[in-house]
Every structure is written in C-alpha cells, then in structure tokens.
Amino acid sequence: MMIFQHSWGQQRGKNEDENGRIASSKASPEERSKATGCHSDGRRETTAVSGRFTEVVQSPQVHVLSADCCVSEYESTSSHMDMLKVNSLQDIETLPLTSWNIRQPAKEDDSREEALASGGLDLILMPGLGFDRARNRLGRGKGFYDNYLEHCKKHPKGKPYTIALAFKEQLCEKVPVDNHDVPIDEVLYEDEK
C-alpha cells in the first residue's frame, strides 16, 4: 500500500520512494493517530464512509477501534449531503440502495443523527474517480463532498481528516479542479510491484 500524504511529506525528495510516492512511515505518531483513528487514551472516533468504502468498515479493525460510523445521504437534485450515523454493520446492510448503488438511509428515516449535530467527524473515507499527486480528487461533478467539507470547516471541531482509497488505475497526472474543490489529505493506493 502506498500513500500520497499531506503536509508532512508534501515536499518532493527525501520522503519519496523510487517511484515518487510518499511512504506512510514518515508521518508522526500524532498524524498517524489522527489518520487511523487509533488513540491510546481511549477516545472514540467518528468515521464517515461512502459507496464502496462500506466494505472497509466491515473489517475487524473498526470493531476493535469502537469507531462510530456515518454514511452519506445526498440529495440528487442538489449538491447537499449529510453524514448520518449508523448503528452497526447489520444496519448498513439493511439500508436501501440509491441509483448509484450506494447504501444510504431512506429519506423518510429521520431517526438518524447528523454527524455535525453530535460532535463532528474525525475522518472521512473519500470516494473518487481519479486522484493526482497534489491530492486533488475527481468526483462525479456535483460537489457533494467539497460542499460538506466546507460546512465542516465552520463546525467547532473543524474539517475532518480525509483519506481516499484508490486503485493504481485511478492515479492521474493532473485532475482538473476549480476554486471550490477541496484537496484530500491522503490517497492510499495499491503498490505496483
């Protein structure tokens, strides 16, 4: 697994491997802690997942971390999105599928708490069609995540740490961006070896 990292490895050179990728071992313990949600003092983390990343929260590590989990709920007619808490893996599996084959709570389900109303988020696993070395993300063009991250910046907890999981085929020379696009903190992708 290789990583494009944010500020602690942003400068090209000493932290990069032979292919120009930045290895995760250069992160400080505090930065690794924030990125992974693992804290020695027992604090719980709240993680947001979307789309194919739902499979990530079905791993034993999430249960060990006791992380709260949220899933996206978007409105297809606008660029509005919320992150709503889910109770368990079984809860996620019962959510209806959208036209994009993403599990999210039904519009009629008003029993779920929005993450920003209850303390904010620590980490968002970001979806994307493509990513570049500047940590830009190519989404589907509606700005759901960019708008949500801007909204998070106004929350007392601030913008959550963002990580994208990618296949090497999703890595691009340059992703087209606009002023409203928010770069992600890290892109994790499979090793080419």
Domain containing 158 — which CATH number?
3.40.50.10420
Average pLDDT over residues 2-12: 36
Pairing mode of beta strands 81-86, 68-74: antiparallel
Average pLDDT, the chain: 73
Is the entire prediction scored with pTM above 0.85?
Answer: no
- Per the structure, the complete domain to which residue 10 belongs is given by 2-36+45-189
pLDDT > 60? residue 145:
yes
> What gap in Å lies between CA 63 and CA 68, rounded to an integer?
9
Report helix, strand or coil for 41.
coil
Percent of the chain scored above 90 by pLDDT? 37
pLDDT at 98: 85
pLDDT > 70? residue 11:
no
pLDDT at 28: 44
Closest residue by Cα to residue 10 from 19, 168, 20? 20
Report the number of distinct structural domains present in the chain: 1
Q: What is the pLDDT of residues 40-58, one digit of tens each?
A: 343 434 455 544 444 444 4
List the structure tokens of 93. 């599996």
> What gap in Å lies between CA 12 and CA 182, rounded to an integer?
21
CA angle 109, 113, 114 (to 5 degrees): 105
> What gap in Å lies between CA 70 and CA 46, rounded to an integer?
7
List the single range of 10-14, 111-115, 120-124 with lowest mean pLDDT.
Answer: 10-14
56: exposed, middle or buried (C-beta count within 10 Å: 0-12, 13-18, 19+)?
Answer: middle
Average pLDDT over residues 10-27: 36
